[in-house]
Amino acid sequence: EAQVTQNPRYLITVTGKKLTVTCSQNMNHEYMSWYRQDPGLGLRQIYYSMNVEVTDKGDVPEGYKVSRKEKRNFPLILESPSPNQTSLYFCASSFLRGVQGPYEQYFGPGTRLTVT
Amino acid sequence: KNEVEQSPQNLTAQEGEFITINCSYSVGISALHWLQQHPGGGIVSLFMLSSGKKKHGRLIATINIQEKHSSLHITASHPRDSAVYICAVLLTGNQFYFGTGTSLTVIP
């Protein structure tokens, strides 16, 4: 079954404790991306990747890191989480339309993160 | 900054009604996506448009590049269409910007 998986689905942590949210896709997609969703602000892009070892900042990259060492995986790293990073996080992936960019995206189920 | 504006924010309709959700954007784009977010939180991609019109079942999406405007239409609406509909624009640098969504409730 074609899917994007995220782990964990729910996480409560404390300020400053490093954490990683994993994202994996089984569709051989080139494009992968992380988003956060907050009430009243909607979805905002954190980082995206066009392929292995190629990552770029989105609209709200501060406080986050990513890596793309394998095509299927795109982990999101919060090295020193703060309460303002409490949010619902989505990973997504898609094929690329050559220079025209990503096709329709497949989204993971979301990770609800609370930082106290 | 609000590169993407959706209207209305909330919409309640009777089953069977024709529904239109609008999306306006202020920047040059390479494509526009319509997404559906279910009450449980899951997000599904409905359409990707670069020009013209696309149809899938009871859903129709149109885009006018010159006017920087897109619409999502739902014909013969059904309670199962109740969801949040989100417009997203893809910039030429492969970055996405999103509208804040339209919450649709269809009453039986």
- pLDDT tens for each residue of B97-106: 999 999 999 9
The residue whose two tokens read 């989505």 is: A90
* One-letter amino acid of A41: L
Q: Give the helix/strand (H/E) hosting B34.
A: strand B31-37
Cβ–Cβ gap B48/A104 under 8 Å: yes
The pLDDT mean for chain B works out to 94
Cβ–Cβ gap B41/A88 under 8 Å: yes
What was the pLDDT predicted at B41? Answer: 84
The residue whose two tokens read 């909607």 is: A42
Q: What is the pLDDT of residues A19-58, one digit of tens each?
A: 999 999 999 999 999 999 999 899 999 999 999 999 999 9
Q: Are A55 and A64 in contact (CB under 8 A)?
A: no
Distance CA A102, CA A30 (A): 9
What was the pLDDT predicted at B93? Answer: 78
Put simply, whether B60 touches A (Cβ < 8 Å) is no
Structure tokens at B99: 């509208």
- Chain centroid to Cα A13, Å, comes to 18
Distance CA A85, CA B34 (A): 26
Which residues is A19 bridged to in the sheet? A78
Residues 6-45 of A with CB under 8 A from B: 31, 33, 35, 40-45
| Residues in contact with B55: Cβ distance below 8 Å, sequence separation at least 6, in sequence order | B61
The residue whose two tokens read 């189920």 is: A109
